[in-house]
């Protein structure tokens, strides 16, 4: 089973150093977030100034990984798509589309995001549940249209903490948007409190673009490294092989000190699969 790691796991390294570390450990995939010391644009749930991130500079960065045999599966956007302020939302979406352009220029198939959130008001709010979700669907219809234009796919990462909190809700959401350009970034840790391992594949298998590999205790707010939570990894990986063989599986929440050990945890769980 091939594995990858998000570039955010190595913020202290340059892109060249990050690609070297990944390649030496046999990793095959990455989610590129422009988070390294020589391309430090990463902002979570917001946006950064990427005006000097030209197509040519982005190609230089992507090629660093490709030249080491690592496939850049996705460009990580992770801006706030639920921003209620229209002016700010417009800026977030322009930022999103610019990263779509970069992905398209480099033949990277996915651009990834979570739902986004308002600090202090994350998740489902009774007073705005219907209106926020309706607006969210409309926003993703716009993103799907732009994704079609640029020939990329938007990978949404659902999470129990957000307004798309379960596998079934994610399947409902995709149906409501009505576009094949919307795919799932499936992070089992983000759904395990609401959806079983089997539910995730039952509802989402045809829509999965790639995976994040991390874990979670069902009562935790934050995730953990693989093996430190409540996910049944042999069961999950059996379903992975059954329904999504060779879809990129990219570790998250690891760092330079522990990522090799976490890779071994995944591979050991993979060996325990009961055929």
Asked if 78 and 112 touch (Cβ cutoff 8 Å), the reply is: yes
Q: Average pLDDT of 68-79?
A: 98
Could you give the CA distance from residue 47 to residue 49 in angstroms, rounded to a whole number?
7
- Residue 149's φ and ψ, nearest 5 degrees, are -60, -40
Is residue 119 over pLDDT 90? Answer: no
Asked if 70 and 22 touch (Cβ cutoff 8 Å), the reply is: yes
Q: Is 63 left (phi over 0), alpha (psi -120 to 50) or beta?
A: alpha
- Residue 74's φ and ψ, nearest 5 degrees, are -155, 150
Is residue 274 over pLDDT 80? Answer: no
Characterize 50-68 residue by residue with b for buried, 16 or more Cβ atoms within 10 angstroms of its Cβ, and e for exposed: beebeeeebeebbebbeeb
pLDDT averaged over the chain? 96
Collapsed DSSP state (helix, strand, coil) of residue 24: helix
Could you give the CA distance from residue 52 to residue 64 in angstroms, rounded to a whole number?
19
Could you give the CA distance from residue 197 to residue 215 in angstroms, rounded to a whole number?
12
Query: Tokens standing for 29?
Result: 């995939």
Only one residue has tokens 């430090």, namely 40
- In percent, the amount of the chain with pLDDT more than 70 equals 99
Q: Average pLDDT of 122-146?
A: 92
Which residues are within 8 A (CB) of 149 and not within 5 positions of it... i.e. 6 or more apart?
none
Between 211 and 121, name the one with better pLDDT: 211
Could you give the CA distance from residue 137 to residue 163 in angstroms, rounded to a whole number?
11
Collapsed DSSP state (helix, strand, coil) of residue 224: strand
Domain ranges of the chain: 4-271
Is residue 275 over pLDDT 80? Answer: no
Cβ neighbour number for residue 98 with a 10 Å cutoff: 15
Only one residue has tokens 């957000």, namely 162
What does the pLDDT read at residue 209? 98
Q: Provide the CB-side half-sphere exposure for 146 (13 A, CA).
A: 20
What does the pLDDT read at residue 150? 98
Is residue 128 over pLDDT 90? Answer: no
Q: Average pLDDT of 77-90?
A: 96
Number of H helices, E strands in the chain: 9, 10
Could you give the CA distance from residue 84 to residue 157 in angstroms, rounded to a whole number?
20
Q: How confident is the model at residue 178 (pLDDT cuts 50, 70, 90)?
A: very high
Q: Average pLDDT of 126-137?
A: 90
Identify the CATH number of the domain defined by range 4-271: 3.20.20.150
- In percent, the amount of the chain with pLDDT more than 90 equals 93
Cα angle 264-270-271, degrees, rounded to a multiple of 5: 95
Closest by CA to 113, choosing from 69, 65, 146, is 146
């Amino acid at each position: 089973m091939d594995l990858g790691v998000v570039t955010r796991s190595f913020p202290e390294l340059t892109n060249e150093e990050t690609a070297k570390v990944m390649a030496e450990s046999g990793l095959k995939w990455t989610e590129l977030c422009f988070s390294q010391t020589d391309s430090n644009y990463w902002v979570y749930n917001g946006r950064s100034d990427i005006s000097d991130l030209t197509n040519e500079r982005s190609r230089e960065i992507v090629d660093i990984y490709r030249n080491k045999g690592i496939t850049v599966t996705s460009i990580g956007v992770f801006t706030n798509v639920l921003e209620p302020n229209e002016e700010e939302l417009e800026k977030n979406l322009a930022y999103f589309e610019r990263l779509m352009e970069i992905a398209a220029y480099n033949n990277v198939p996915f651009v990834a995001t979570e739902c986004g959130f308002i600090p202090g008001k994350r998740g489902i709010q009774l007073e705005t549940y219907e209106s926020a979700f309706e607006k969210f669907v409309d926003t993703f219809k716009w993103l799907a249209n732009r994704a079609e234009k640029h020939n990329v796919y938007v990978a949404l990462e659902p999470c129990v903490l957000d307004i798309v909190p379960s596998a079934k809700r994610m399947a409902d959401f995709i149906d409501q948007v009505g576009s094949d350009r919307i795919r799932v970034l499936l992070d089992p840790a983000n759904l395990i409190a609401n959806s079983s391992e089997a539910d995730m594949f039952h509802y989402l298998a045809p829509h999965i673009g790639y995976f994040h590999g991390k874990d979670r205790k069902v009562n935790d707010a934050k995730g953990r490294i693989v093996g430190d939570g409540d996910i049944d990894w042999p069961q999950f990986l059996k379903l992975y092989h059954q329904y999504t063989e060779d879809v990129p599986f990219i570790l998250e929440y690891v760092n330079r000190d522990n990522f090799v050990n976490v890779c071994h945890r995944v591979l050991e769980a993979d060996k325990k699969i009961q055929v």
